[in-house]
Structure 1
Amino acid sequence: MSDSAFQLTAIVIYLLGMLAIGYAAFRRTSDLDDYMLAGRGLPPGVAALSAGASDMSGWLLMGLPGAIYVSGLFESWIAIGLVIGAWLNWKFVAPRLRAYSEVASNAITIPSYFEKRLRDRSHVLRIAAGVIVLVFFTFYVSSGMVAAGKFFDSSFGWPYMTGLLVVSGVTLLYTMFGGFLGASWTDVVQGLLMFAALITVPIVALFVVGGPGEAVDSMRAVNPDALNLFAGAGDTNALLFGLGIFSTAAWGLGYFGQPHIIVRFMALRSAADAKAGRRIGISWMILTCLGAISTALLGIGYFANDPARDLGDPETVFLVLSQIFFHPLVAGFVLAAVLAAIMSTMSSQLVVCSSALVEDLYNLLGRRSAPRTEVMLGRLGVLVVALIAFLLALNPDSSILELVAFAWAGFGGAFGPIVLLSLYWRRLTAKGAIAGMVTGAVVVFVWGNVDALSSRMYEIVPGFLLNLLVAVVVSKMTAQDDPEIQAEFDAMERQVRTDKVLEEQEA
């Protein structure tokens, strides 16, 4: 067999496995609660790996290594910010959101949680949140499709369009039929595959380039600042440099508002499971980020020592190294890890988009349908969003990192402050949440499309801060005592405390 045949065999085995998992989940899905939230029965390990895999996407294996390959270790501030943000998210959002989303009339989506938590009878808050989900997730799903097209072009020389069709088609199938449970189960397998690949490739690369000393010398010969986390500090104003680091690390702010991640918190078996989920999820995240960073840095040294090889697109450094180092069949499974990263994120985002269309828009504006009909509408919603994202992804020159950055900032700026305030501040009002959410979304959209602004500061920072300010000010202006809201807030806090006590007793 040729190298390509071996690699394609591994890819086909992986894709068939994903379809099989999707079918198994399909047989356990009977109503909209199952389709959107898996009946709130995810164990912490499944939730943690699912959140991690759906979080990282093709950015972890392509976007991040590509940025570090070009600019050096300075670009790892993104990863540092993300690890800190993820830890804070698991620590402070997960237990309270799990409890509050159930206390607030069993909300199964983020927009419905906002409406029920804040008693917005006008439905404006829920509709606005649903629209924001659809707009920014369409860009996010599109980034995964772009990564898929680049993947097959780099790995097998296939046309960009072929990669789009294959990955989009398989992901669409298992997501449409498996729903949230199918996405979560496939995420676990995909997360483990990503972990194995990101640990194996840099270890092998280290031996190939001749060990740590040789690797460092080769990197510095190409880029003297390759290993400098503070590269450029002496070439610019200290304040501007500090703002640059803060802007890059500010990716971590986005975690509080990412629906495809925090919905995993809502699906946990109990608030107490958040602690175990945090330990598993953050451990996975630290190790995989270190693997991605190491792969890029070692790639600098490797290609410097072998100038006959042309890397081409820096975002393919992980793909190319895996093909060089391993037997074609093994390399095929390593390449499948890239597909795992892409598909796990796309599937999770498509499920959230589906929930926004059906639970937060269709059912809100019309009358509720039979459970089976709602599930079918959910599947149609997945199809619609996927088709729009596909059209956006037709441009092969789109940057994965830029598409992800824009969508990530959109959710962080629009939803992050509202999620935090809803969990920790009793006085948040529906009008305050609406005003803050719209402010955050608009600021991110405008700021991100003005080069003079976005080049100075990542748009999530002004979006997040202005959202927070507006939400607090408007809430103070419109605050009214509502005994039901106060009672629910107390019930949430009691449930979190009770779960924590039970956890300590079991330990």
Structure 2
Amino acid sequence: MAEQTWFVIAIVIYMLVMLAIGFWGFGQTDEYDDYVLAGRGLNPFVAALSAGASDMSGWLLMGLPGALFVTGFSELWIAIGLLIGCWANWFWVAPRLRSYTEVANNSITIPSFVENRLRDTSHTLRIICSVIILVFFTFYVSAGMVAGGKYFQATFDGDYSTGLLVVAIVTVIYTVIGGFLAVCYTDAVQGMIMFAALLIVPVMALFVMNDPGSIFTWATTKEYGPWTDGEVNTHYFSMISGVSFAAIVGNLAWGFGYFGQPHIIVRFMALSSPKEAKAGRRIGIGWMLLCVIGAAAVALIGTSFFGQDPNIAITDRDSYETIFLDMARILFHPLIAGLVLTAVLAAIMSTISSQLLVTSSALIEDLLRLFHKRPMTNQKLVYYSRTAVVAVATIAAILAWNPNASILGLVGFAWAGFGSAFGPVVIASLYWRRLNTPGAIAGMATGALVSFIWGQSPLGDVLYEMVPGFFLATIVMIAVSLMTAPPARDVTEEFDEAARLSKLADENPELAVEEVQAKAAKGEI
């Protein structure tokens, strides 16, 4: 049987499993809140793997190995920054956000939480949040679709646009059908596939190589990949040689982005209780650390693996982002290779589905319901949300039609936009009593604009836009909040109550948030 046929069988099996989970999610989704936030019932294992899989996307299996292969270990500063940021996000944001969103009028989206937290009756905050989500997530979803197109090119020697459409259509189907619950459970399954593949592929490559020890000298002494015509990458193993201080700072700054990623922190809001954040943090960080090690191993081993054998080559000769795909295809029987290669589809589709759902929530929950004066039934809200998923996916596919777009470039642009716009405001909303509506609006607008303008200018090549975006947004947010009237008394009282309940929830982990509220009101705890 031809190699391509085996690949098709493996992919079909994977797609059917994803669609089956989607239909299962459909059966579990009765109300609009279930479709958007799974009724706040996620266990920590599903929440952690879902957050990780939707976070890492095709970047982990394609963007990061490609960057490490071309440049060397200096690209690891991004991974280090992300690991630190992910830990901090689970430690400081997850438990407080889970309890506060329930206290703040049971908020089910980030825009609605920020508005409810500050009692912004003008709805300006919600509108700005939603517009930022629509703009940056459209680019983010496009990054996933670019990865999907490249995946099919490398795996099937097929057409880029056909692969893009297949990934987009299947992802849209199970997202539309099953909503947030299906997205989280498919993400969890996809996270496990990614984890297994990133550990299996580099280990198997070492076993089949004639001289596995050469992986530690090949890049620095011999030609490989983009290093030709007598040039060698003498700085491959150095994390500082040939790298500017601004580049290191910019790469580490990726970690700041975690605090403002709606598709990640919405998982915190969906946890069954704040206490689950501790278990989620351990699972999520452990998963991420091992996956990053696997991605680095793919790049390191790949320098010698492809360099030793002139009969094999990496499909993507520009950014080398198909190195993982090509290595798996060469190493395994076509059926096993096809199943391993679904890890890339898993990474791509998990991120796209999460982002599509958050974007549709911004359109329906935060914009349509705001301007639609008549109350709408649950069925109509779910219908509109599903329509929004299809619309956003269509626009993203059009933007992704250019096969030369860099996955890492698109992801970096969107990641900085969200981190700069939402990160400072989310942290301040949870921990700063003095934050007011003008300060939040000014900080959010500053972060989004600085990140967008900086990233589109030559300055983006000097310093990652996250750095100026995040810090200028923080400065402006604090300055405007202090120069304008303090928040109303009911806002600060609710903040104090949320902080108190969060502390009580930590001290009484056996109780749900609503039980803590009830017992606190009675003076029982």
> Is it true that 1:349 corresponds to 2:359 in the alignment?
no
Question: Where does residue 339 of structure 2 map in the other structure?
Answer: 333
Secondary structure in structure 1 of the residue aligned to 2:321: helix
Question: Where does residue 292 of structure 2 map in the other structure?
Answer: 289
Question: Where does residue 423 of structure 2 map in the other structure?
Answer: 416
Bigger shift: 199-208 or 292-301? 199-208
Q: Which runs of 5+ in 2 are unaligned?
A: 223-232, 513-525
Distance in 2 (CA, whole Å) between partners of 1:227 and 1:205 is 20
Question: Where does residue 405 of structure 1 map in the other structure?
Answer: 412
In structure 2, relative to structure 1, the CA distance for the partners of 1:243 and 1:177 (3 Å cut) is same
Question: Where does residue 395 of structure 1 map in the other structure?
Answer: 402
> Is it true that 1:61 corresponds to 2:61 in the alignment?
yes
In structure 2, relative to structure 1, the CA distance for the partners of 1:482 and 1:505 (3 Å cut) is closer
Which residue of the other structure, out of 244, 251, 259, is the alignment partner of 2:247?
Answer: 244
Distance in 1 (CA, whole Å) between partners of 2:390 and 2:141 is 12
1:213 CA displacement: 2.4
TM-score (norm 2): 0.93
> Is it true that 1:483 corresponds to 2:489 in the alignment?
yes
CA contact (8 A) 1:218 1:305 kept: no
Question: Where does residue 104 of structure 1 map in the other structure?
Answer: 104
Question: Where does residue 225 of structure 1 map in the other structure?
Answer: 235
Question: Where does residue 379 of structure 2 map in the other structure?
Answer: 372
Question: Where does residue 228 of structure 2 map in the other structure?
Answer: none
Q: Residue by residue, what CA displacement relative to the aligned partner does 1:484-507 show, whole Å, maximum 9, x if unpaired?
A: 21221122122222221223999x
1:388 CA displacement: 0.5
Question: Where does residue 83 of structure 2 map in the other structure?
Answer: 83
Query: Residues 19-98 of structure 1 correspond to what in structure 2 (within 5 A)?
Result: 19-98=19-98
CA contact (8 A) 1:219 1:298 kept: no
> Is it true that 1:299 corresponds to 2:302 in the alignment?
yes
> Is it true that 1:121 corresponds to 2:124 in the alignment?
no
Distance in 1 (CA, whole Å) between partners of 2:377 and 2:392 is 23
Question: Where does residue 258 of structure 1 map in the other structure?
Answer: 261
Question: Where does residue 517 of structure 2 map in the other structure?
Answer: none
Question: Where does residue 143 of structure 1 map in the other structure?
Answer: 143
Query: Residues 199-214 of structure 1 correspond to what in structure 2 (within 5 A)?
Result: 199-210=199-210, 213-214=213-214
Which residue of the other structure, out of 435, 440, 465, is the alignment partner of 1:433?
Answer: 440
Amino acid at match of 2:414: A
Question: Where does residue 237 of structure 1 map in the other structure?
Answer: none
1:310 CA displacement: 2.4
Amino acid at match of 2:73: L
CA contact (8 A) 2:435 2:487 kept: no
1:463 CA displacement: 0.6
Question: Where does residue 465 of structure 1 map in the other structure?
Answer: 471
Amino acid at match of 2:28: R
1:288 CA displacement: 0.3
Secondary structure in structure 1 of the residue aligned to 2:322: helix
CA contact (8 A) 1:209 1:215 kept: no
Question: Where does residue 277 of structure 1 map in the other structure?
Answer: 280
Question: Where does residue 173 of structure 1 map in the other structure?
Answer: 173
Distance in 2 (CA, whole Å) between partners of 1:3 and 1:465 is 51
Q: Which runs of 5+ in 1 are unaligned?
A: 234-240
Bigger shift: 383-392 or 472-481? 472-481
In structure 2, relative to structure 1, the CA distance for the partners of 1:355 and 1:299 (3 Å cut) is same
Distance in 1 (CA, whole Å) between partners of 2:156 and 2:29 is 36
CA contact (8 A) 1:153 1:160 kept: yes
CA contact (8 A) 1:31 1:374 kept: no
In structure 2, relative to structure 1, the CA distance for the partners of 1:378 and 1:481 (3 Å cut) is closer
Question: Where does residue 230 of structure 2 map in the other structure?
Answer: none
Question: Where does residue 509 of structure 2 map in the other structure?
Answer: 503
CA contact (8 A) 1:54 1:260 kept: yes
Distance in 1 (CA, whole Å) between partners of 2:85 and 2:273 is 22
Bigger shift: 483-492 or 17-26? 483-492
TM-score (norm 1): 0.96
Secondary structure in structure 2 of the residue aligned to 1:151: helix
Question: Where does residue 236 of structure 1 map in the other structure?
Answer: none
Q: Residue by residue, what CA displacement relative to the aligned partner does 1:12-38 show, whole Å, maximum 9, x if unpaired?
A: 000010000001001111222101100
Distance in 1 (CA, whole Å) between partners of 2:178 and 2:144 is 19
- What do you get for the CA RMSD once the two structures are aligned? 1.4
1:221 CA displacement: 2.2
Distance in 2 (CA, whole Å) between partners of 1:389 and 1:461 is 26
1:66 CA displacement: 0.6
Distance in 2 (CA, whole Å) between partners of 1:280 and 1:210 is 36
CA contact (8 A) 1:144 1:342 kept: yes
1:212 CA displacement: 5.2
CA contact (8 A) 2:154 2:315 kept: no
CA contact (8 A) 1:272 1:496 kept: no
Q: Residue by residue, what CA displacement relative to the aligned partner does 1:415-465 show, whole Å, maximum 9, x if unpaired?
A: 0000011111011011110111011101011000112x1111100110101
Distance in 2 (CA, whole Å) between partners of 1:401 and 1:141 is 12
